[in-house]
A and B are shown apart, each in its own frame.
Chain A
């Protein structure tokens, strides 16, 4: 059974600090996605990583896909209060093209002013 384990589950930091969220699995994924969800909204896609070892940057957010495509990380530099939200990693479920995703447990980030 494919599982995605996210850590930490909760993170409360001061504005300006850096942080890293991890998404790990014992299974190989063809791609991994990161979403951010704010209260009252659906998850919004931040990035998809496809190639092992890939690094993608989105302003202050840096996403990395592990060389073996079993893990990914999200690093936020100089966090801002607007970064507050629930961060979810997700990957395609199974080997067939069902379109289904499995999600990590989520990381709730609170950035305090």
Chain B
């Protein structure tokens, strides 16, 4: 199954700055997904990233705050812009495991905004 390398694993950022998270998949995947998770809680989908088209955002998430790039079938980035303490969370990327009805996830980025 696909393996996703996500970085950074954690960061502490000043409010008002931005953080870009990268995910590299070891095989080509059509769709990649970005989630946000509070520690110990469930996952909330931010957006779906398809190669060659704009990302599709879920209700409550906007492109200006969470710009996403998907330059090819193995890579995606999520930027969290104009950081505030409320953005402190774990961010995860994901891709479908072909033929297995399941998904593989990156190891997550724990963001703390101070």
Contacts and interface: CB of A to CB of B under 8 A. Distances in A.
Nearest to B94: A42
Name A's interface SS.
loop
A88 B43 contact: yes
A49 B6 CA distance: 28
Q: Secondary structure at chain B's binding surface: helix, strand, loop or mixed?
A: strand
A99 B31 contact: yes
Contacts of A31: 101
Interface residues of A, number: 23
Nearest to B50: A99
A90 B106 CA distance: 17
B42 A104 contact: yes
Contacts of A42: 4, 6, 92, 94, 104-108
B41 A106 contact: yes
A50 to B, nearest CB: 7
Contacts of A45: 97, 100, 102-104
- The CB with the most chain A CB atoms within 10 A, among B9, B97, B103, B106, is that of B103
Nearest to A48: B101
Interface of A: 31, 33, 39-45, 48, 50, 86, 88, 90, 98-101, 103-106, 108
Interface of B: 4, 6, 9, 30-31, 33, 39-43, 45, 48, 92, 94, 96-97, 100-108, 110
